Structure 1
Amino acid sequence: MENTRRKFLKSAAIGTVGLSLTSWTSKAVQMGDVSTREGTKPIVLSTWNFGLQANEAAWSILSKKGRALDAVEAGVRIPEGDPNERSVGYGGRPDRDGKVTLDACIMDELSNIGSVACLEHIKHPISVARAVMEKTPHVMLVGQGALDFALSQGFKKENLLVEASEKEWKEWLKTSQYQPKVNIENHDTIGMIALDATGNLSGACTTSGMAYKMHGRVGDSPIIGAGLYVDNEIGAATATGHGEEVIRIAGCHLVVELMRQGKSPQQACEEAVMRIVKLTQIRKKNLKDIQVGFIALDKQGNYGSYCVQGGFNYAVHDAMGNRLIDANYYLK
Structure 2
Amino acid sequence: MAKAAEAARRSLLADPPLREERERASDRTPATPPSALAVPGAAAAVDRTVFDAGNTETLPGRVVRRETDAPVDDVAVNEAFDGLGATHALLLEAFGRDSVDGKGLPLLATVHYGRDYDNAFWDGERMVFGDGDGEVFGRFTASLSVIGHELTHGVTQYTAGLVYEGQSGALNESFSDVMGALVEQHQLGQRADAASWLIGEGLFTDAVEGRALRSMIAPGTAYDDDVLGKDPQPADMAGYIDTRDDNGGVHLNSGIPNRAFALAATELGGFAWEGVGQVWYDTVVGVTEPLDPRATFAQFADATVGAARARFGAESAELSAIERAWRTVGVRSDDTPG
- What TM-score do you get using the length of structure 1 for normalisation? 0.28
Larger radius of gyration: 1
Greater share of helix: 2
- What TM-score do you get using the length of structure 2 for normalisation? 0.28
